[in-house]
Chains A and B, each alone.
Chain A
Amino acid sequence: MALVNLTVNGRPRSCEVPDGTLLVHLLRDHLGMTGTHVGCDTSQCGACTVILDGRAVKSCTILAASAENAELRTVEGLAEAERLHEVQEAFRTHHALQCGFCTPGMIMAAVNMIDRHQGQLDEALVRHDLEGNLCRCTGYHNIVRAILAAAEAYRARHRVAAAQA
């Protein structure tokens, strides 16, 4: 067994799990946080995407024990009380989901994408950076629109001028 100490959405957590436990199972089975989904379970679909020490990763392909002392952000950590995170709000406004299964991973990938590029995104970059997240319903158009809208909100918030064309 491995004792894993990590911070999940700003809260210190400690969990004793079998060494072979995957990060997504630590979240779902041991911490009861089922917002992070298991989709393909083969590292392709991105439904299990979480942000580990500032980087979007597929939590179905990370050992929980290797996340010792890590800072983890999941979809449960985005909204503040009743107020949705701006990426969640953009997904709602732009109807960027149908069945919703891929949505937690899409949103975490989008949050990390916007942070990494400091909101400086265009459609081509969003589509390139979203290659690790599969959606079988929407055809991606509304997801891309939502991410671009959230990036615009981020820029407005950070008073960063849009990149010159």
Chain B
Amino acid sequence: MYLYETTYLRPATIDEAKALYEAGESPAFLSGGHTLLPAMKGHLARHDRLIDIRRIPELQGIAEDGGRLTIGAAVRHCEVAASAVVQGCVPALAGMVGTIGDVQVRHVGTIGGSLANNDPAADYPSAALALDATFRTDRRELPAAEYFQGLYTTALEPGELLVSVSFRKPRRAGYAKFRNPASRYALAAAFVADHADGVRVAITGAGNDGVFRWREAEEALAHAFESASLDPLRVDMEDMASDMHADAEYRAELVKICTQEAVKNQNRVTLF
């Protein structure tokens, strides 16, 4: 399939990218493009200019500093998964990124692209919520709690450029994912992070309003960090997505199983 006519631009700086965006009629920032380009090929989206932000220096790099791990928005999944810094800081995060899509997708897709898209079945949003992420843009800093605003929706304004994402290093963390066997996207997945000031449980794939924190599970795990603490709990079925792949009841069960597996298998990833 072929795209509608568009203009490809590759700015070298954030200021240049913003100026190019302002001058467009229906512009879009292009990162890995593995959601944007299929949408444009299917003629579901039309942009008069594609502004490729992958070569802007501020959007590169992985660094650990003062208990926080900061990753540039244009860093590819394969780089995060293979990073000794990420593996040492949050092994479950490196492991999780190594399960996104497939090899070819991880060679191109970026953290910023995934988080700006906020697909309700994407992996990164759960890590961002569980690891208390801060989103740095060209104009401000946003906490994860404000950043995610429902299906494919974020607090980013038109033309606002995600520059980097910084995660709080937990004492330990685990990620468990039940994949749709066809699409390989999460039908349900849980990122469980044990921080000095409490436990965070973030669920992706299952919610009818995108990624969310399962507060009851957090409280139960703060009391006793073991999978049995979750035995009496069940996520609210009203909050579950229900579609041809899995109904709400099934997803609720998967949420609990994934959360329990993530608790049991800390510092690694568990895949179903």
**A interface residues (Cβ-Cβ under 8 A, vs B):** 2, 18-22, 25, 41-43, 46, 49, 52, 55-58, 60-63, 65-66, 109, 112-113, 129, 131-133
Contact in complex: B52, A131 (CB < 8 Å): no
Among A21, A46, A65, A66, contact of B104 (Cβ-Cβ < 8 Å): A46
Contact in complex: B104, A132 (CB < 8 Å): yes
Cβ of B13 < 8 Å from any Cβ of A?
no
Contact in complex: B104, A58 (CB < 8 Å): yes
Provide the residues of chain B in CB contact with A22, threshold 8 Å: 2-3, 37, 41
| B34, B50, B101, B103 — most chain A CB neighbours (10 Å) | B103
Contact in complex: B34, A43 (CB < 8 Å): yes
Contact in complex: B103, A62 (CB < 8 Å): no
B17-45: contact bitstring with A at CB < 8 Å (1 yes, 0 no)?
00000000000001001100110111000
A58 to B107 CA separation, bound complex (whole angstroms) = 9
Q: Is the interface of B mostly helix, strand, loop or mixed?
A: loop
Contact in complex: A132, B2 (CB < 8 Å): no
A43 to B41 CA separation, bound complex (whole angstroms) = 11
Provide the residues of chain A in CB contact with B50, threshold 8 Å: 19, 63
Contact in complex: B33, A63 (CB < 8 Å): yes
Provide the residues of chain A in CB contact with B103, threshold 8 Å: 56, 109, 112-113, 129, 131-132
A-B contact count (CB 8 A): 81
CB distance from B2 to the nearest CB of A (A): 7
Chain A residue nearest to B40 (CB atoms) is A20
Cβ of B78 < 8 Å from any Cβ of A?
yes
Among B5, B104, B105, contact of A20 (Cβ-Cβ < 8 Å): B5
CB distance from A117 to the nearest CB of B (A): 11
Q: Give 15 A-B pairs besides A41-B41, A60-B41 with Cβ atoms closer than 8 angstroms.
A: A20-B2, A21-B2, A22-B3, A42-B42, A46-B104, A56-B104, A56-B107, A58-B105, A61-B33, A63-B8, A66-B54, A113-B103, A131-B184, A132-B102, A133-B102
A21 to B50 CA separation, bound complex (whole angstroms) = 12
| B1, B30, B42 — most chain A CB neighbours (10 Å) | B1
Chain A residue nearest to B108 (CB atoms) is A57
**B interface residues (Cβ-Cβ under 8 A, vs A):** 1-8, 10, 30, 33-34, 37-38, 40-42, 50, 52, 54, 78, 101-105, 107-108, 184
A52 to B78 CA separation, bound complex (whole angstroms) = 14
A150 to B107 CA separation, bound complex (whole angstroms) = 23
A72 to B79 CA separation, bound complex (whole angstroms) = 20
CB distance from B215 to the nearest CB of A (A): 34
Contact in complex: A25, B2 (CB < 8 Å): yes
A58 to B101 CA separation, bound complex (whole angstroms) = 12
Among A61, A132, A133, contact of B37 (Cβ-Cβ < 8 Å): A61
Provide the residues of chain A in CB contact with B7, threshold 8 Å: 19
Contact in complex: B38, A43 (CB < 8 Å): yes
Among B38, B78, B102, contact of A55 (Cβ-Cβ < 8 Å): B78
Contact in complex: A62, B33 (CB < 8 Å): yes
Chain B residue nearest to A48 (CB atoms) is B104
Provide the residues of chain B in CB contact with A131, threshold 8 Å: 102-103, 184
Contact in complex: B102, A20 (CB < 8 Å): no
Among A65, A129, A132, contact of B101 (Cβ-Cβ < 8 Å): A132
